[in-house]
Amino acid sequence: MDYTVQTGDTLPALSAHFNTTVDEILEANPAIPKSATTLPPGMPIQVPIYYQPLWGSAIQIIPDNSFINGPDLLDFNTSDFVNSHSGWLKSNREYAGGAWRTGGELIDYVAINFSISPKLLLAIVEYQAQGLSSPTFEGESFEYTLNYIEPFHQGFYSQLVWAANALNNGYYGWRTGDLKSYELEDHSVIFVDPWQNAASAGLQYYFSQVMDPDQYHQAIGETGFLATYQSLFGDPWESQTPHIPGSLEQPEMRLPFLPGAAWAYTGGPHTGWGEGEPRAAIDFAPPGIKGGCTPTTQWAVALAEGVIARKETAIAVLDLDMDGDERTGWVVFYLHLATDSIPSAGTHLNSGDRIGLPSCEGGRSTGTHVHIARKYNGEWVPADGPLAFNLEGWVAQDGDDEYQGKLVRFSQSIRACICSDQPSQIASDIYP
């Protein structure tokens, strides 16, 4: 079948979408090298296909660049946009991330953490709860603003966090080829149309989790969520700009610690932020840490030269293109660093410079460690796959489940284990 490459497409994902294999796609397209990472957007190819029943909607709701918190959002001011409307979101105020935040600030806080477009989140709040157009909330329960009925996610902020997490599970599940189907409330099974793009697949999955079948089919149609998005921000397809180029390569990166002592590889590919997808992160623990929140004097270091674009509790974001904005270019996201040890925003670091002391700060943690993940133009990059994490030649590989897996360099292999045992120990070869 004819297929035109879309932003961020990879051979493994396409083979999963079309129920075929990488080798069959390569055989049908001799011009594609076996070593291909991301494919060039707009490239026409032939894809062998093995049909599956019950394909979902072929309507593409929004382009991928309108889903992620990337370069297209540089000139958008969320709070100004919210305050220019009369809806209840403008007057909403909740405590999140150690501070009281207005409605617009809550949107931005979730958008930056999950790296999802604030425009997308605003359109969802408007479509489901009229947060921009209605002065008062008129749904059944404000505690379940977005209709996710779960006691631990009561309140607008918690509902928004869940929504962002579900959206990422759909988007990156499709991006990697792991999401193939999902169930609606009536237990009917939807197989995602193989020609879909990641953003539309992510939205379809999200709406399937919070709506009955009739509401779901309305939401994913041309008069549903897309109409709301267009009314707020115009036609997203008019400014479609691929944010992931073909043949994307990771810059050279070192291990996040200096030579002199072996650290433990305690976490194979797992979520960069939230729960589930994307499996963008890996973890390392300093020597002598075998579980528990033990203070350490062993510093985590910069994987490459960059600028601290953001410093928050336990978080450092290292911007490798050094423009100071984590929505553009390559960035490295660090979590579980002792906040007082992190350099201030704007600090320039060379490869190997200290970036913070591993700790248990920042969310759930079973022991002192550092969590690292990558983003490119606002999109989380899976730790395994065609663009796998490569640190001094050590390449990350998935295991059977989250946090499992290996680091492989030629014939050498390091197994991830929270136990910090000998087979999980790894040393750096690069001095400052």
DSSP states along 240-280: ---SS-TT--PPP---SS-TTSPEEEEEEEE-SSSSSS---
- Predicted local distance difference test score (pLDDT) of residue 7: 96
Choose among 243, 240, 432: nearest CA to 330: 243
For the chain, what are the domain ranges? 2-46, 64-239, 263-426
Specify the pLDDT at position 280: 98
Q: Render the burial of 313-344: b for 16+ CB within 10 Å, e for the rest.
A: ebbbbbbbbeeebbbbbbbbbbbbbbbebbbe
Quote the crossing angle between the two packed helices 156-176 and 118-129, to the nearest 10°: 120
pLDDT attached to residue 171: 98
Is there a cis peptide before residue 30, judged by omega within 30 degrees of 0? Answer: no
Instruction: Tell me the per-residue pLDDT of 78-96, one tens digit each, with 9 for 90 and over.
Output: 999 999 999 999 999 999 9
For position 366, what pLDDT does the model report?
79
Residue 82 host element (H or E): helix 78-83
> What DSSP string describes 182-230?
EE-TT--EEEPPTT--HHHHHHHHHHHHHS-HHHHHHHTSTTTHHHHHH
Q: Which CATH superfamily is domain 263-426 in?
A: Glucose Permease (Domain IIA) (2.70.70.10)
Residue 382 CA: distances (Å) to CA of 3, 158, 271, 303:
24, 25, 9, 17
Euclidean distance between CA atoms 386 and 39, whole angstroms: 10
Burial (Cβ within 10 Å: 0-12, 13-18, ≥19) of residue 416: buried
The alpha carbons of the chain give a radius of gyration, in whole angstroms, of 22
pLDDT at 152: 92
Element (H or E) spanning 395, and its range? strand 394-398
Q: Give the pLDDT of residue 53.
A: 65
Question: Nearest to residue 355, comparing CAs of 340, 365, 367, 368?
Answer: 340
Gap between the Cα atoms of 203 and 198, Å rounded: 9
Burial of 168 (0-12, 13-18, 19+ CB in 10 A): buried
Q: Taking a C-beta distance cutoff of 8 angstroms, is the pair 289, 326 a contact?
A: no
Selecting from 3.90.1150.10, 3.40.50.10210, 3.30.750.210, 3.10.350.10, what CATH number does the domain 2-46 have? Answer: 3.10.350.10
Round to whole Å and give the CA distance between 48 and 11: 12
Please tell me the predicted confidence (pLDDT) of residue 352. 97
Mean pLDDT by 10 residues, the chain (432 residues): 96 96 97 95 93 83 97 97 97 95 98 98 98 94 95 96 98 97 95 96 98 98 97 93 95 96 96 96 90 91 98 98 98 98 98 97 89 98 98 97 97 95 94 75
Helices within 84-155 (DSSP H only): 103-114, 118-129
Phi, psi values for residue 133, rounded to 5° = -110, -25
What are 293-306's pLDDT values in tens digits? Answer: 999 999 999 999 99
- What distance in Å separates the CA atoms of residue 388 and residue 256, rounded to the nearest whole number? 16
Rounded CA-CA distance 325/291 in Å is: 35
CB-based contact 358:370 (threshold 8 Å):
yes
Partnered with residue 406 across adjacent β-strands are 397, 415
The pLDDT value recorded for residue 318 is 98
